[in-house]
């Protein structure tokens, strides 16, 4: 005679189902391990490659990404040795005439803008680069533009004090004449070549106060003989003044002068 116990068979069914699920999980795990052993884990080149290879691969990938990021950053100016921006620091007001003709009055520092006429007003104006420093006196007018990796300062009027380190990326110009700095030799190690360049009677007049520099003039597209602006003789006043680019050529101290008259260049040696 059979006795019916409520819930007993339902409990047994649950136990059997649990066992089946457990056996199914074990079978699936065994199958996965077999597939792993036969074909290898994802990211492994060989089935029997030891564990930890994924970390090595990820490390190589990270290194490659870092190299690409470094190359990308090096392509920007101011990074990895590139010439940093030149800053204009007004000690008063700078009247900036843009190419469109608009005039802007600036009293705070700003990046040097090419092809804009700058006039120092109500004080001096400093143009600060990584290897040169220019200080324009009041009422001086100049324009800057880029030629390759150098700045060319075209001085229209006034006086500019210069402090130049070797390999300074700066050139001077006035009218049809451009003066490239071939050599810059400071009087002291880690020093600067200092002096003043001014427009006098349509000529650029260089007055060196310390150090020596070699200028290579190009007048109306014609290369002229290089000139040296250096320390004056002992009997002189201690400076060298040189007039370049005018109707007449004149030099005081060591060096030579180059004059420009109606587009014709002449060379005068002392």
Choose among 227, 217, 213: nearest CA to 260: 217
pLDDT score for 141: 96
Strand order in the sheet with 125-128: 110-111, 87-90, 125-128, 132-136, 159-164, 193-200, 203-210, 240-244, 250-252
What is the pLDDT averaged over residues 103-113?
Answer: 94
Q: Per-residue pLDDT tens for 5-30?
A: 555 556 667 667 667 666 666 666 66
Helix (H) or strand (E) holding 31: helix 8-39
**262 vs 114: which has the higher pLDDT:** 114
Q: Where are the domains of the chain?
A: 8-74, 87-269
**186 vs 49: which has the higher pLDDT:** 186
Q: Annotate 74-102 with DSSP letters as a single string.
A: HTSTTSTTPPPPPEEEESSEEEEE-TTS-
* Separation of alpha carbons 54 and 189, rounded Å: 55
Helix (H) or strand (E) holding 181: strand 177-185
**151 vs 73: which has the higher pLDDT:** 151
Which residue's structure tokens are 């030799």? 185
* Separation of alpha carbons 162 and 128, rounded Å: 10
pLDDT score for 238: 36
Averaged pLDDT of the chain: 74
pLDDT at 232 over 90: no
pLDDT score for 243: 57
Cα–Cα distances in Å, from 137 out to 60, 85, 109, 145? Answer: 57, 22, 17, 20
In this structure, of 61-70, 190-199, 211-220, 245-254, the range with the lowest mean pLDDT score is 245-254
Q: Per-residue pLDDT tens for 155-195?
A: 999 999 999 999 999 999 999 999 999 999 998 888 999 99
First to last CA, the chain: 141
* Separation of alpha carbons 97 and 142, rounded Å: 11
* 21's tokens: 């699920």
Q: Is 250 exposed, middle or buried (0-12, 13-18, 19+ CB in 10 A)?
A: middle
* Separation of alpha carbons 138 and 8, rounded Å: 107
Cα–Cα distances in Å, from 212 out to 172, 205, 206, 262? Answer: 16, 15, 11, 30
């Amino acid at each position: 005679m059979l006795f019916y116990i409520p819930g007993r068979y339902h409990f047994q069914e649950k136990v059997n189902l649990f066992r089946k699920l457990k056996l199914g999980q074990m079978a699936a795990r065994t199958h996965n391990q077999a597939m792993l052993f036969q074909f290898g884990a994802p990211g492994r080149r060989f089935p029997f490659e030891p564990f930890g290879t994924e970390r090595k691969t990820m490390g190589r990938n990270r290194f490659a990404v870092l190299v690409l990021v470094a190359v990308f950053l090096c392509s920007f100016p101011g990074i990895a040795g590139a010439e940093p921006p030149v800053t204009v620091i007004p000690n008063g007001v700078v009247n900036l005439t843009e190419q469109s003709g608009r005039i802007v009055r600036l009293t705070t520092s700003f990046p040097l803008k090419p092809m804009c006429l700058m006039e120092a007003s109500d004080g001096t104006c400093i143009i600060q680069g990584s290897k040169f420093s220019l200080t324009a006196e009041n009422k001086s007018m100049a324009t800057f533009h880029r030629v390759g990796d150098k700045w060319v300062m075209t001085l229209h009027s006034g006086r500019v004090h210069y402090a130049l380190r070797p390999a300074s990326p700066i050139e001077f110009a006035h009218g049809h004449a451009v003066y490239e700095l071939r050599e810059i030799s400071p009087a002291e190690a880690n020093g600067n070549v200092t002096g003043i360049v001014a427009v006098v009677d349509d000529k650029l007049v260089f007055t060196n106060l310390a150090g020596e520099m070699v200028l290579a003039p190009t007048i109306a597209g014609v290369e002229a003989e290089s000139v040296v602006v250096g320390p004056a003789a002992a009997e002189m006043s201690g400076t060298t003044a040189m007039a370049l680019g005018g109707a007449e050529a004149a030099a005081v101290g060591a060096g030579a002068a180059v004059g420009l008259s109606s587009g014709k260049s002449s060379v005068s040696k002392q």
